[in-house]
Structures are given as C-alpha cells and as structure tokens.
Amino acid sequence: MNKMKFPITRQIHYLIAAIILGYYSNPVWAAENKIQPTDFLELAAVMLKDGHNDRALLALQSVDLENKKTDLARFYTLQGLAYLGLNDLEAAKDSLQQAIKNGQKDQAIYIYLAQIHFGLKDYQRTIDAIGKAGEQANKDATLISLKAESYWHLKQTEAAINALNDGQRIFPADFRFLKRKVFYFVELGLYQEAVRLGRQYLQRSKAAAADYIALGNALRLSKEYQEALSILEIARLQFPHDEMVAKLLAHTYLDQGKLNSAAFILEQAALQNPSLQAEAAEIYRRAGRFHKALTLNESISDQKVKLKQRLSILLALKQYERAANMESGLYRNGLLEDQDVRYALAYALFSSRRFSEANKHLDHLTSAELFRKGTELRRLMEVCKSEPWQCT
C-alpha cells in the first residue's frame, strides 16, 4: 500500500523549530551531539525571518565565537537585526558595527544603521550611514526623508531642502517630500512660499482633513492668521462635518479678536457635537451678545458648566434677582466650593438688596483678592443701609 505524504503546515514548522531551539540552546547537549555553529546561525535566521527576535538571540547564544569556522560577520548581523526588532537600538548599533569590522560587505547593513542612528538622535552618523549605503539609498524614499530630517536637525537647512528636492525628483508620486518642505518653509518664516507649496500639496495629494489642519495650525502658531484662514476656510468647505477643522478655524478667528465669527463657527459645529455649545455660548458672552449666549446656554447638558456660565451671563445682563435665585442649584451641584462662584452669587444677592444672605457667602471667602472684594462689598452694604437713596 502506498504511503500518503502530508505537507508540513506552518504550525508544525513552528513546533519543530521550537523543539529544536529548546535542545540546541543547551551548550552541553550541543557539544555532546557535535552540533555545528552554522546550524545555530541558520536556526537564528529562520527565527528572525518569522519575527521571533528573542528566540533568534537565544539560538545565537549557542554559537561558538572561538571557532574559526564561525561566520562572525553573519553572526553579528543577525544579532543586530534581532536587537533592532526588539527596539534595543544601542545593542543593535554595536552588533552591526561589529559585523562590519568582521567583514560584512553588504551595503544594506548601512540602511539599518541609518535607521538606528536616527532613532538615537545621532543625526550626523545617520547621514554618514546613508552615504555608505550607496545606490540603495536613492531607491528608498524613507532613507531620503531621514537624510533630509537629519540635515534639518543639524540646522543645515539648504542641505535638508536639497534632499527633499532629490526625493521629489526620484519619487514624483510620493508627496511626503513636498509636505515636509512646506513645514520647513513655515519654520523658516517663508510664509508666502509655504502657502504656495501648501496649496500645491493639498491639491495634488488628495489631502485629508488632517493635512489642512496641520498646515493651518502651523501658520496660526506662526501668527500668519490670514494665510491660516485661507487654508482652513477651504478645509471647512471640503470637510463641513470635521470638528477639528471647525475648532481650529474658530480659534484662528479668536486669535484675531473676531469673536462673533468664532462663536458662529462653533455654534454650527455644535449641531454635530453639542459639547461645543458651552464654548460657543462663552464666546458670545465675551462678545457682549448676552441673550444669544443665554439661548445656547439652555441646551448645555453638563449642569456644572451650564449653571456657572448662566450665572455670569445673568450678572452681565444685570438680572440680579434671577442670578440670586440660582443659589439652590449652585449648592446642589457643588459649585459653591468655587470661591469665584460664591463671590458672584454674593454680588447678585447684594444687588438684590438681600444683604444678610450676601454676608453669609462673603464669610466663606479666603483668597486675598476675593477677600478684598468682599470687604468692599460689605462697606457698600453699610452705605446702602444708612443712606438707601445712594443704592437705588
């Protein structure tokens, strides 16, 4: 009868490898059974290929480094890559440098070293390693990007931009180089060129909302508000439901003192996210549009935020009786623990000529500034009692 042959599945392959590693990692057993060093290197390579970096290191521990037949260049290369896979950058760097000292000629090793040096923030060695990678460096967009960023960190701005230009030339469909150049120009204060290239990037790359936000915010932080607004207004048209676009646009208007524009944008955004109503109402309050602020305040779900804001709006409207009548609600929500709120309530009670109630709240003030204000309020209450005509 013919014997059936079954293919070895990947799971069985892993099981066999694990069993082999279990025995082979015992140096005594390996010596007794005359296991050759190359077997451990092959085993480590298999483990590394399958992503088992810790097991690869375990296999490499059994390699006899004193044996003249051991391929030290390969040993240190495998060890460096295993450490790199475990994100131990210092150990990876040392191992790969040892591989080079022991005759590793494959230029790909410099690609790994460049990534390691960059991760260690050793930017000059990153550039040196990329240079030693030869032609392979120009075939890897990530390496060109690392070179540009390394030059930038070293404040060699012209070299950084030249590297980005090389990246654009070699990889015309990869827009990371154009994007990075935009932000470099922003940092250099070349805003007109940054906006020009930024528009080019946003049009050509089918940019997401996050790209508009990043560019708009960079311009805003540089206080180039008009340029930021021009980018963010386009984003608002293209991504009308994106909350971050709306918030950043509103805050850019706010930076310019355009309170009504900022409040209106947040009010519209609050239709999608009601939590923004409190911020919109607050900006309307600051803009002096108290009735509009009070209307929005009605719909705020967070009671603490709602009551605290409502108290300030009613005081601004000089509706002191309504403000004073909020006392029980403020107490229930624990807001009277906030001394600013307690003073505001005391002021509303004073303005409603409920002096004894106001005094009770003033007794709780301990901060220096509010205590001073409370003392002045008490003085005014005494004036009102003795000369009522002055408090009408």
- Residue 169's pLDDT band, with cuts at 50, 70 and 90, is very high
For 292-314, write each residue's pLDDT tens digit: 999 999 999 999 999 999 999 99
Q: How far is Cα of residue 234 from the mean position of the Cα atoms in its chain?
A: 23
Mean pLDDT check: name the lowest of 37-41, 243-247, 360-364.
37-41
- Check residue 249 and give its pLDDT: 97
- Check residue 1 and give its pLDDT: 40
H or E stretch including 111? helix 108-119
Cα separation, 34 vs 48, in Å, equals: 24
Cα separation, 273 vs 276, in Å, equals: 6
For 60-82, write each residue's pLDDT tens digit: 998 888 888 889 999 999 999 99
Q: Give the pTM.
A: 0.69
The two three-digit tokens of residue 327, written as one number: 């006392």
- Residue 92's pLDDT band, with cuts at 50, 70 and 90, is very high
End-to-end CA distance of the chain: 116
Is the pLDDT at 179 greater than 70? The verdict is yes
> What 8-state DSSP symbol labels residue 8?
P
| DSSP, residue by residue, 201-237 | HHHHTT--HHHHHHHHHHHHHTT-HHHHHHHHHHHHH
Ramachandran region, residue 353 (left: φ > 0; alpha: ψ -120 to 50; beta: rest): left
Higher-pLDDT residue of 7, 119: 119
Cα separation, 311 vs 306, in Å, equals: 9
Tokens 């409603």 correspond to 352
| Residue of 344, 346, 342, 362 whose CA lies nearest to 354 | 346
Cα separation, 277 vs 380, in Å, equals: 37
Which residues have a Cβ under 8 Å from the Cβ of 260 and sit 6 or more positions away? 284, 287, 289
Cα separation, 370 vs 344, in Å, equals: 10
Which residues have a Cβ under 8 Å from the Cβ of 209 and sit 6 or more positions away? 235, 238, 239, 242, 244, 245
- Check residue 389 and give its pLDDT: 75
- Check residue 12 and give its pLDDT: 36
62 neighbors 43 (Cβ within 8 angstroms): no
For 113-129, write each residue's pLDDT tens digit: 999 999 999 999 999 99
- Residue 146's SS3 state is helix
CB neighbour class for 140 (10 Å; exposed up to 12, middle 13-18, buried from 19)? middle
Q: How far is CA 325 from CA 284, 310, 311, 314, 321, in A?
A: 23, 12, 10, 11, 6
Cα separation, 260 vs 123, in Å, equals: 47
Cα separation, 233 vs 141, in Å, equals: 32
Is the pLDDT at 20 greater than 60? The verdict is no
